[in-house]
Structure 1
């Protein structure tokens, strides 16, 4: 029984190590994809990250965006200036507080990004098509919890 338990423990460690290695490889591949997409539309990686945050959670105030992106507010100003010059975002007055500014992504310009990510999105659709609903729920839960663990680890390290 002891050898079966130790064999199970080794297998679990190998599987866990494989998951961590796969996540590291995924991180690299997504970074490369984002870098190539950014090069096609003349955006820096950090610009794409901020544009994604604005698109998913916006409209956002610059301070909220800085906090979500983990960047200094002065850095966000430069990023927003580039995004606005490129026609990716607009800055608008917050209707709830006319002194505040909200940043909103421009949908017509972001169509260009959707086109560049179409290959990855199609590959993901095909990949997900190979799993049943229960398996997809487990994968979605794992990835959501992994992202939360990443946020917690980032918060623990604090900001620079």
Structure 2
């Protein structure tokens, strides 16, 4: 291998290691932020995770929520019971199939939730302002692909 491509390969490996370290640190910091938000709202970590899934992908059936969250059905029932009691979600009959239930977020509390994430959202807005649109599109693609890789790895482990 010629020295130029060898140096390029080393730089690529170093940069890849730094990206992985950055993703681990980001994951840890977001976990801490979510814990603080959950504590302020009197929600368990898993409750906040499920609420986020319902807000992002809902309305969902309890089975679909359990699958997306990687939870057992009984665990999901407990989460939904707590979220419903606290006024975050409702379980309604599915209009397409009256025997089925759909879980939907009650959006009147979203302002409370968004307010707790306002500091982080403002910081990300300021960070993004330092980049060109094409760079941000590339970052967004990287994050989507990384999230897909994480989802795929979790599915493989769940199936093992």
TM-score of Structure 1 vs Structure 2, range by shorter chain: over 0.9
What is the match of residue 65 of structure 2?
A: 65
Matched, 1:141 2:130: no
Worse-matched range after superposition: 29-38 or 2-11: 2-11
CA RMSD, 1 decimal = 1.2
State the shift of 1:110 in Å: 2.0
CA offsets 1:74-132 (integer angstroms, 9 cap, x no match): 10000000000101011111000011111111111121110000000111111111111
What is the match of residue 113 of structure 2?
A: 113
Q: Report the Cα distance in structure 1 between the residues aligned to 2:10 and 2:61, rounded to whole angstroms.
A: 49
What is the match of residue 129 of structure 1?
A: 129
1:1-150 matched pairs, under 5 angstroms: 2-150=2-150
Q: Report the Cα distance in structure 2 between the residues aligned to 1:39 and 1:29, rounded to whole angstroms.
A: 15
Relative to the length of structure 2, the TM-score reads 0.97
Worse-matched range after superposition: 28-37 or 104-113: 104-113
Q: Report the Cα distance in structure 2 between the residues aligned to 1:109 and 1:9, rounded to whole angstroms.
A: 50
Q: Is the 8 A contact 1:94 1:100 kept in 2?
A: yes
Q: Runs of 5+ in structure 1 lacking a partner?
A: none
Q: Report the Cα distance in structure 1 between the residues aligned to 2:159 and 2:55, rounded to whole angstroms.
A: 24
Give 4+ residue runs of structure 1 displaced > 3 Å after superposition.
none
CA offsets 1:117-152 (integer angstroms, 9 cap, x no match): 000011111111111111011000000000000011
CA offsets 1:13-37 (integer angstroms, 9 cap, x no match): 0000000000000000000000000
Q: Runs of 5+ in structure 2 lacking a partner?
A: none
Q: Secondary structure at the match of 1:90?
A: strand
What is the match of residue 153 of structure 2?
A: 153
Q: Secondary structure at the match of 2:131?
A: coil
